[in-house]
Structure 1
Amino acid sequence: MEPPTIEFREIKISQKDYGTPIKKVYFVIENKRSSVMENFYNLDKKTQAQVKALISKMATIPQYQSPQIRYALVGYTYGEIKPKPHRFFFFQMYGDALIFFDYCIKKKDSLNHEIYEQINQKKERYEHAYREYVQRR
């Protein structure tokens, strides 16, 4: 069995609308699929615009704060954007980059420890792959 192929695709931030980006924004593609983008495109247009605006502000405004963003979850080094109740986009800050690597929906309550651990394992794999990606550039 071949190891998974992991790619990073940059999301361009509109300078016209948000100013000059201070961070690059990427999403992960693993084996030609991206849970982040597949689920993003399944959201309604209003929520898509909301997520785009949050990400753009994170990329252009130093230390941008919003109640919908947690930069680090308790006990973990990754963060989440929560545009609607029970929908989560997970990201890792790495130097001058924001890397969106996972998406999860939970119908009620909150995510449990096991799910956060699984997400953390993905984050660590992608972080290692991103380091290699940066070295190749």
Structure 2
Amino acid sequence: MVRHAMLMMAGTLVSRVLGLAREVLVAAFFGATRSLDAFNVAYTLANLARQLVAEGALSAAFVPVFSQALQESRERALSLGRQAMSVLIAASGLVTLAGIGLAPVLTHIMAPGFDAETAALATGLTRWMFPFL
């Protein structure tokens, strides 16, 4: 179990370093433009939804319960995994649809100072980014 935890930690570290590299490259290529601001708002909204649904309480609650079920029987653990996956897919689908439908409201809450053109771009990008969830 410690080995798997270390692998998760290493994966998270690599992810963070690659994220930093992405931000440096984006800033170098695009600078500080309204289009980039619109993209950042859309990305932040979709990423926040992903963190809340896929990486939030479900992950923290699932691993200990799954480990205990796995000690009891492999079949029970697989059944639990299938049930959790079903709930995760349904919740992700609902949040994605809600995010797409509420994109104008979410964009306005996240960036109330955008002019009409930038807000429309951010709304459209948010609708494209939400399936990222």
Same fold by TM-score greater than 0.5:
no
Q: TM-score, normalised by structure 1?
A: 0.27
- Mark the structure with the bigger radius of gyration: 2
RCO greater where, 1 or 2, for CA within 8 Å and sep 6 or more?
2
Greater fraction helix? 2
Greater fraction strand? 1
Q: TM-score, normalised by structure 2?
A: 0.28
